[in-house]
């Protein structure tokens, strides 16, 4: 009779264990619902609503928020302006046609240089050649793409490179929106402290096209920092001479 009692006690313990395990695993999402011993399936990553078909929007950065605030202020100013008559509009356009190109384009206050077609053409050539050199170098050595970089684009990346003093030449677009002007002024200050030549040329869209980046709607590049302009020393030297004369003319005209 003793072995029978042992069997009954062991069977009761096993049943108690299975009941407690089932109670703990109730409501859990398992990988295989037919197997009670299957491990629990835990969903990792972002939880998205499957019913909503719209993509998840990214959280805007601090610079993007400043740009949006600048756009709202500009829209409020434009809405508060009164409409002028046709005669006054003709008089204003005639005056603008007589003014130099610098005043027509209305650059931002951080621009302290006259904008000329010669500087724009040389900047376009240098940027396009740098992009071509960089793409060829990365294609020949795809395992080490960072070591083959000739330039960096973007406010945040150029600011970090300016802090590290790793760039040798700086290109800034004169039509950056008001929200990002403070960042540009900070980059310009770091360039002056590190004796980095600064060139104001083209526009955000034209710099984007000169770098050969893929076509996108409303895309642009505000700042470009050059790490290495090897094989373009003559072109960069000529550009720096023209920039010096353009800045002197800016001081005289101001």
The 3-state DSSP class for residue 160 equals helix
> Residue 141: inside a domain, yes or no?
yes
Task: Give the pLDDT score at 157.
Answer: 92
The whole-number pLDDT of residue 106 equals 63
One domain, residues 139 and 90: yes
| 241 lies in some domain | yes
Residues 101 and 172 in one domain: yes
Q: Which residues contact 40 (CB under 8 A, 6 or more apart)?
A: 25, 28, 29, 30, 31
- Statement to judge: residues 156 and 204 lie in one domain: yes
Residues 151 and 129: their CA atoms lie apart, in Å, by 11
Range of the domain at 26: 1-47
Q: Are residues 94 and 41 in the same domain?
A: no
Q: Is residue 147 a part of any domain in this protein?
A: yes
Enter the DSSP assignment of 174. T
171 and 220 part of one domain:
yes
At residue 53, the pLDDT reads 56
End-to-end CA gap in the chain? 113
Pair (104, 173) in one structural domain:
yes
Q: Residue 245: give its domain's CATH number.
A: 3.30.1330.30
Digit-by-digit pLDDT tens for the chain (254 residues) are 444 444 444 445 555 545 544 544 444 455 566 776 766 666 666 666 555 555 556 777 777 777 777 777 766 655 554 555 566 656 655 654 554 444 335 677 888 888 888 999 999 999 999 999 988 888 888 777 777 789 999 999 999 999 999 999 999 999 888 778 889 999 999 999 999 999 999 889 899 999 988 888 778 899 999 999 998 999 999 999 999 998 888 876 65
Does some domain include residue 63? no
> Residue 247 domain-assigned?
yes
Domains identified in the chain, total number: 2
Q: Do 209 and 130 share a structural domain?
A: yes
Are 150 and 236 in the same domain? yes
Residue 194 and residue 111: Cα distance in Å, rounded?
18
In a domain, 65, yes or no: no
Q: Does residue 94 sit within a domain?
A: yes
Q: Is residue 21 located within the same domain as residue 136? A: no
Length of the chain: 254
Is there a single domain that holds both residue 117 and residue 227? yes
Residues 136 and 239 in one domain: yes
Tokens of 161: 């490179």
The pLDDT score that the predictor gives to residue 216 is 81
Q: CA-CA distance, 209 to 214, in Å (whole number)? A: 8
- For residues 226 and 103, membership in a common domain is answered with yes
Helices (H), the chain: 2-24, 62-80, 86-98, 101-105, 117-140, 155-164, 181-193, 204-210, 233-253
Please report whether residue 57 resides in a domain: no
Q: Does pTM surpass 0.75?
A: no
- pLDDT score at 226: 95
């Amino acid at each position: 009779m003793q072995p029978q009692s042992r069997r009954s006690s062991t069977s009761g313990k096993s049943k108690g264990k299975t009941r407690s395990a089932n109670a703990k695993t109730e409501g859990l999402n398992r990988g295989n619902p037919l197997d009670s011993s299957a491990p629990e399936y835990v969903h990792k990553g972002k939880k998205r609503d499957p019913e909503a078909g719209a993509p998840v929007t990214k959280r805007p950065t601090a610079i993007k928020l400043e740009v949006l605030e600048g756009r709202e202020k500009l829209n409020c100013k434009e809405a508060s302006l009164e409409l002028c008559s046709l005669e006054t509009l003709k008089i204003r356009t005639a005056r603008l046609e007589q003014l130099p190109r610098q005043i027509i384009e209305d650059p931002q206050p951080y621009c302290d240089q006259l904008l000329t077609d010669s500087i724009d053409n040389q900047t376009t050539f240098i940027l396009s050649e740098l992009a071509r050199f960089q793409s060829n170098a990365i294609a020949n050595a795809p395992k080490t793409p960072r070591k083959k970089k000739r330039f960096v684009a973007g406010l945040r990346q150029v600011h970090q490179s300016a802090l590290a003093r790793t760039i040798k030449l700086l290109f800034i677009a004169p039509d950056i929106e008001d929200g990002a002007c403070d960042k540009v002024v900070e980059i310009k200050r770091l360039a002056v402290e590190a004796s980095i030549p600064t060139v104001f040329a083209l526009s955000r869209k034209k710099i984007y096209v000169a770098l050969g980046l893929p076509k996108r709607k409303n895309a642009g590049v505000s700042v470009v920092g050059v790490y290495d302009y090897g094989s373009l020393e003559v072109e960069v030297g000529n550009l720096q001479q023209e920039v010096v004369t353009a800045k002197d003319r800016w001081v005289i005209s101001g």
